[in-house]
Amino acid sequence: MNLPASRRCLLLCVLFLLLTETGYGQTSKRSRRFVKADNEKTWQIGPFKKLNSVNPVLLPLASTTFDCPVRKETVRWEEKDVFNPAAVVRDGKIYMIYRAEDVVGKYAGTSRLGLASSTDGIHFKRLPKPVFYPANDAMKTYEWEGGCEDPRVIESPNGVYVMTYTAYDGDKARLCVATSKDLMNWQKQGLAFGEAYNNKYQNHWSKSGSIIGKRVGSQIIAQKINDKYWMYWGDQQQLYIAYSDDLLHWIPVERSNGKLLGVAEFRPGRHDYRVLEPGPSALITPKGIVLIYNGMNDAQRGDRSLPEGAYAAGQMLFKADDPVELIDRTETYFMKPDQPYEIEGQVNQVCFLEGLAPYKGKWFLYYGTADSKIAVATAPIK
């Protein structure tokens, strides 16, 4: 059929558009979403604003002491650093469960977890003793003497708090689970992946468990999806996922070849080239599951505008009924180290986001700064 040149051009354009919409062209619907400007991604939580006039909101303290049951000595348990906190709302207050280090543990100080409360999200009153720590128990072999690190806490549907934390023995980090009814008295439940695949992951490096939940008033409650609880985890160049029936025993999702399934991965030229690490509990929203995450930069192959090793934060959106499917992602970070206490400390150039609480109409986002202090940023709850 002989057609004029103008008609042939029009038909070719229509064919290209059809191929694009059906996924056979080079630009699918999904990839077009990924290249939208971040300010057009309305599914994000935020925008967040650092409260620089009051930050940091928690500092190391040399006056509090603790009789360590393992060391059998009195230690200044939060003398060196405080950082990487979880946050929940209980009885009208924000409670922060934070990581603290002494100066005597041989792995940059032994880590224990403290508890502090606030009626405004800014000024905190802390307990003088840690509420969670290595002891002479069944978990000692995993926790001593590196300690108990980086808590994330979510409330179960029956009102029990579930905490994921990292046990560090000086050689390996292992993701663990503990439970509490009051945030002060905790029961260690063991390794998160200890029974999965005939103990395959018992000695596998694992950390940073972000359990999926939903905001219900001022609480974030763990929610089942397809009859399972789900958790994003890991601190590698890929982000992993696991599922559970009871919030205590978790099974990492594997590929058919027995390797871990990555649900997101590093990106050349971006702030998350070296490491992707979950932040607070992932949230079910009307647009999907939103995960705030921490990315570690590679100055040569990642974001050249950020320093080497800098931790900056981004957000991901997963399908509401399929937590494995990533459907969108911020192109760049929404928070980076730019304050003196974020730039210089135990580990330089770090904003590590880990605690998120809905309180008095705002999101309070707590983060570790340079692995040394704790700061907060806020955003209106949409």
| Domain assignment of residue 4, yes or no | no
Asked whether residue 220 carries a pLDDT value surpassing 90, the answer given is yes
Asked whether residue 197 carries a pLDDT value surpassing 90, the answer given is yes
| Domain assignment of residue 76, yes or no | no
Question: CB within 8 A of 111, min separation 6: which ones?
Answer: 99, 100, 101, 105, 146, 147, 148, 149, 168
Instruction: Supply the pLDDT for residue 23.
Output: 33
CA distance 370 to 114: 18
CA distance 139 to 252: 21
Q: What's the pLDDT tens digit per position in 63-112? A: 999 999 999 999 999 999 999 999 999 999 999 999 999 999 999 999 99
232 within 8 A of 301, measured Cβ to Cβ: no
| Domain assignment of residue 328, yes or no | yes
When divided into structural domains, the chain yields a total of 1
Question: CB within 8 A of 351, min separation 6: which ones?
Answer: 294, 311, 312, 313, 335, 336, 337, 342, 367, 368, 369, 375
| Domain assignment of residue 255, yes or no | yes
| Domain assignment of residue 157, yes or no | yes
CA distance 368 to 280: 12
Pairing of strands 322-329, 262-265: unpaired
Q: What's the pLDDT tens digit per position in 331-373? A: 999 999 999 999 999 999 999 999 999 999 999 999 999 999 9
The residue-averaged pLDDT of 153-177 equals 98
The residue type at 92: G
Q: What is the CATH number of the domain that holds 352?
A: 2.115.10.20
310 within 8 A of 319, measured Cβ to Cβ: no
Q: What's the pLDDT tens digit per position in 274-318? A: 999 999 999 999 999 999 999 999 999 999 999 999 999 999 999
| Domain assignment of residue 208, yes or no | yes
Range of the domain at 224: 31-48+144-380
Helix (H), strand (E), coil (C) string for 70-101: CCCEEECCCCCEEEEEEEEEECCEEEEEEEEE
| Domain assignment of residue 231, yes or no | yes
| Domain assignment of residue 306, yes or no | yes
The residue-averaged pLDDT of 173-181 equals 98
Which DSSP category does 339 fall into? S
Percentage of the chain exceeding pLDDT 90 = 90
